[in-house]
Amino acid sequence: MKVDKLRPATMPWKQMQVLDNTTQEEWFDMWCEELIQAGYIDEVVTHPDVPTFELFPGYSKPYGKKKNIIMNKVVYTPDRIIKWNKKAMYIFFAAFNWGNDKWDTCYFNAMLEPNKGFYYSLVEVKGPTGNQKAYGQDFKFTQKWLWANTEQYVQKVMLAPAKIIKNPYQYLWSMTFTPERFLYTDKLATNRNKPIPYRAIPNKNGILKWTVRTLEQFIKSKTSA
């Protein structure tokens, strides 16, 4: 697969915001933005509007007239909350509830808000390497703790693999689509005497680390299956 064939022509690159040391969360937001524009996501809740969940209330013992804190309170705040449009069901998310045998057919598992009738996902964005902790605890432990206390499922999202792997099922971009903005750099390259900004996807050996698809290509692959 050649990178040139993946280079989008729809983004007005002259008006693009220059990116500087972009975080994993910011790249995730750009992925979500394409889905908002296409009507698959209704809203993405970011900090400081994401609610905080209490995992442990803390424990104190009296010490004279004061309280001696034996164990501090433990709280957890997800990185993002996605409020899905229902047309995204079984394309981007499957309902994470009892009796649903299709719960594993999509990258995201979403929960139903019983009072308002919409599906949502709690998201913790992690890099493909490095720290996998959440608030000082191993994320898998925090994930289980949150579920045990609240029956809220928070999903770890990693965007793309840092190296070529055989089973990239846990990576968002390899399992869905790569946001268009990622295909551009903030430097200009020359193509047929015209400056065109683009981002090179292959690694040093010229081999793609994941299968790069546009949003349109991914939706077609899911709806025509």
pLDDT value at position 166? Answer: 79
Confidence of residue 71 (pLDDT cuts 50, 70, 90): very high
For residues 113 and 13, the model is more confident at 113
User: Of all residues in the chain, what percent are helix, strand and coil, respectively (each to 5)?
Assistant: 25, 30, 50
Mean pLDDT of the chain: 82
pLDDT value at position 205? Answer: 52
* Per-residue pLDDT at 133 exceeds 70: no
Q: Are 103 and 136 in contact (CB under 8 A)?
A: no
How many other CB atoms are there within 10 angstroms of residue 146's CB atom? 21
For 196, the enclosing helix (H) or strand (E) is: strand 194-197
Confidence of residue 8 (pLDDT cuts 50, 70, 90): very low
Question: Mean of the pLDDT values across residues 20-26?
Answer: 86
Residue listed under structure tokens 């995204």: 88
For residue 99, give the DSSP letter. T
Virtual torsion, Cα 166, 171, 174, 178, nearest 10 deg:
-150
For residues 162 and 15, the model is more confident at 162
